Amino acid sequence: MSRPMLPQIPSVPGLSFRTYQGEEDIPAIAELLRASYAASGDTTGVSEDELHNEFRHSPHADPREDMILGFIGGGLVARSWIDWADTPDDSARYYQSWGDIHPDYRRRGIGTAMWQRNIERLRQIAGGQTFAGERLLTVPWLREGDVGAAVLAERFGYRRVRIYHHMTRPTLDDIEVPPLPDGLEVRPVDAALLPAVWAAMTEAFRDHFGAFDAGPESYRIWAESPMLDPALLVIAFDGDEIAAGVHGEIDPAENAAQGYRRGWTDPIYTRRRWRRRGLASALIGRALVLLRERGMTSAQLDVDTENANRALSLYERHGFVSDRSAGEWHRRMER
């Protein structure tokens, strides 16, 4: 059993740490994440199959070395995970940390110990790389409901640089479906077209804020996701070119756990040549109708509140309202 070296072990009776050992850890991780999300007001579903897919294709980190698990009395109470990615223009490399602690074991020093270890491990990774741009330690998605995590972020020198909103359309009544711009059409997508959809989506997001990885492992995480249903992909074509898309998704486990019938319309993207023509609006309307036809009664998405293409106001016009937030936090990595 791999036991990670943590800079500081909190004096919590029975607490021990080790790294991820394999698929046998996934059920406990899923249960921990559900409890952590719920305590922070996050209704997002957690799928064991999704976790298996994500860990199997991690682009830059090795879960068996870079995921830390904390146990008390044989039960999983904490998990942290790291990775790194570059911004589209290669001006910065983001060294990313995530962490979740069971609500019954927060504020006991566990998060501090894992965060310290993450920073040291990320510095070790960065030290073995040649990169000319800026290096940033980041937390990509810190839920506003997790007040203790925000306190820790500030203690470790991070500052919030971005706010994301989760938005919900409470009903799927009165859906506006604007016409498509001239010359464009929505056509069905099958498995053979998934690489082209991925290429169009990642190109569209290249001028958005943040770091992301468009490499083959990230593609496999997306294409092999058990949640991916090509019939829910609303894709606009201009001849043989993909101009824009809205990716619908339905998570039956989330719906069962939360007692609603809600689908996702996320991501939403338009490639640069086709922007400012009302295309995204036309696709959102069609995606909402498609979810309604599948028996959903509400919809949800996430948005960067500072999106340069005024995405927030677009979604508000389509009946979405903000119901919770998350922040992105950064700290410059010392050379």
Length of the chain: 335
State residue 9's pLDDT score. Answer: 83
Instruction: Locate 243 and state its tokens.
Output: 């101009």
Q: What are phi and psi of 218, to 5 degrees?
A: -65, -40
Q: What is the pLDDT of residue 335?
A: 65
- Asked if the model's pLDDT at residue 3 lies above 80, the reply is no
Give the DSSP per-residue string, 158-184. -EEEEEEEEEEES---S---PPPPTT-
Which whole number is the average pLDDT over 152-178? 97
Note the pLDDT tens digit of each residue in 134-159: 999 999 999 999 999 999 999 999 99
Question: Do residues 139 and 161 make contact, with C-beta atoms less than 8 angstroms apart?
Answer: no
HSE-up of residue 58 (Cα within 13 Å, Cβ side): 17
DSSP summary character for residue 67: E
The pTM score is 0.94
State residue 21's pLDDT score. Answer: 95
Would you say residue 249 has pLDDT above 80? yes
Each residue of 91-143: pLDDT tens digit?
Answer: 999 999 999 999 999 999 999 999 999 999 999 999 999 999 999 999 999 99
Please give the share of the chain, as a percent, with pLDDT higher than 90: 94
The pLDDT tens digits of the residues spanning 43-85 come to 999 999 999 999 999 889 899 999 999 999 999 999 999 999 9
* pLDDT value at residue 8: 79
